[in-house]
Amino acid sequence: MKVVVATVSSLDPQMEAADEPMSRHIFETPLSLDENGGVQTGLCTYKYSGDALTLTLTLRDGVKFHNGSPVKAEDVAASISRWANNVSFGKSYVGKYMDSISAADEKTVVIKFKSVAGLALTSLAYEYMGAYVMPKAVCEEYPSSPVINASKIIGTGPYKLVEWKQDSYVMTERFADYKATGNKCGGPAGNKYAYSDRIAFYFVKDMDAKANGVLSGEYDYVRNVDNSVYASLKGNSKIKFELIQDGTKPSLVFNKKQGPAANVKFRQAVLVSLDMDAIMKAAFGNPELYDLTGSWAPIGSMYEYSNALYNKPDLGKAKQLLKESGYNNEKVVFLTSQDVSYYYQTALMVANRMKEIGINVDLQVVDQATLYSIRNDPSKYDLFAVGFTAKADPAMMAFLGDSWPGFWISGQKNALMEKMAVTVDVAQKKELWHNMTDLIYREIPVITFGERRNCVLLSNKVNNARYAGSEPYYWNIWLSK
């Protein structure tokens, strides 16, 4: 199977920040997530002590690395330590709380925590820059830098690395000794069947080249194609599309530190003015490509929860709230970028609505890198366009941090975050997230317009191209002859 992806700088699954799936086929995490975001057995089973201060991970029988060596507890412990020392969310949700980690025997890893780490299990199961397991010797050779030697790309996954040609392609092939989990769930935690003998990942940038490549039979799978490709090729008998809910939320973020948007009534006025269906349709063109939801957690996840204030446009109420905010026609700088088309299209719609209720909007269009840089300086803007990708646990969403652009500093938020950080009970975690969602709709640090569907372009040979969660995978796909 031939998959189109973007270029990466390394195949180290812990260190590579590019959102590309090659290494996730080669390596595996200690635990894994099912289709609802629940934690399941990965390379290991798990068990907490009664006080939740000791986590015991037990390796499944018969798991081997691609070099034929059996995976041992010391490999798992070394990999988790490397991840918890280097990767941002590994530090925040595991490393910060970890007192010690050790291999009690060849199959058992014991992690002792200084205090309860409520997001530790989810973090150990998360796919993006997760705690992927590699040989202890590789961890020791690359303690804090990416593994750059292709011969050291040694995992346990259903595919092993054959060749990596920089800026051209990555070739993988089925690992004959792969040991499946036996989990009966779906999602990344489900059984992985390496139906394709080989999966080749080609680095291609140009959208026309990607689309034409599928039409000509050069490629089989392109994810996240432009809306224009969907509009122009839908119905073409040579190809097909799959629309996948991956939890991406087109959104805006207010500057809460200074300026008109620091006033909550100003932010409420903007929210009440917005027609979410009109915004999403302008951004994606076709209702097949989006869902209307006020949930900050992905549709279908166990944390999915909306609020009654979502998508209740009322221009009269918006004007009244704006008046109550004390707004006095100051210029309001709204940053966006055309590098991501939905950033630009949603910003255009929101800016027009803000003007309708009497806000003096200055819509500034910059390249994506500039936007990401400027948004760190609260003196330079009042709001900016963005998209939030799904997280394994919604408490990991970036805007919840005090220092993330937008700077949402809130006593109630911090109190909820502290509770979520030490809660391991799933029912309690859900209730806390519902409380957080309601708080977001009261304080409005951010606004989500809905949820995008990832538009995947496929050759007609591709079968079972669906995946669950935010991170794609191709191990359960097969090709017709």
Q: Name the nearest CA neighbour of 307 among 321, 291, 295.
A: 295
Residues in the chain, pLDDT under 70: none
Please answer whether residues 169 and 81 qualify as being in contact, where contact means their C-beta atoms are separated by less than 8 angstroms: no
How would you classify the pairing of strands 239-245 and 360-365?
A: unpaired
User: Which of the 8 DSSP states describes residue 137?
Assistant: H
Tens digits of per-residue pLDDT, 431-475? 999 999 999 999 999 999 999 998 999 999 999 998 887 778 999
pLDDT at 7: 84
Residue pointed to by tokens 């026609």:
329
**Distance of alpha carbon 419 from alpha carbon 407, whole angstroms:** 20
Q: Name the nearest CA neighbour of 421 among 42, 6, 66, 97.
A: 97
Written as six digits, the tokens of 55 are 């986590």
* 377-381-386 Cα angle (round to 5): 90
**Distance of alpha carbon 14 from alpha carbon 79, whole angstroms:** 9
Length of the chain: 481
Q: Give me the sheet containing 98-103, strands edge to edge.
A: 44-48, 54-59, 108-113, 98-103
Written as six digits, the tokens of 407 are 């700077």
Torsion of CA 280, 284, 289, 290, to 10 degrees: -20
Please answer whether residues 440 and 296 qualify as being in contact, where contact means their C-beta atoms are separated by less than 8 angstroms: yes
Classify residue 313 by burial, with Cβ atoms within 10 Å: 0-12, 13-18, 19+: middle
Written as six digits, the tokens of 474 are 């191709």
Q: How many CB atoms lie within 10 A of CB 68?
A: 8
pLDDT at 147: 95
Q: pTM (2 decimals)? A: 0.85
Measure Cα distances from 199 to 16, 25, 134, 345 in Å.
Answer: 20, 9, 21, 35
Residue 29 DSSP SS3: coil
pLDDT at 9: 85
Contacts of 208 (CB under 8 A, 6+ apart): none
DSSP code per residue over 142-203: SSSS----GGG----SSEEEEEEETTTEEEEEE-TT-------S-GGGS-----SSEEEEEE
Written as six digits, the tokens of 473 are 């995978």
- Helical pair 276-284 and 341-356, crossing angle rounded to 10 deg: 150
Residue pointed to by tokens 């992905």:
298
pLDDT at 431: 96
Written as six digits, the tokens of 240 are 């097909």
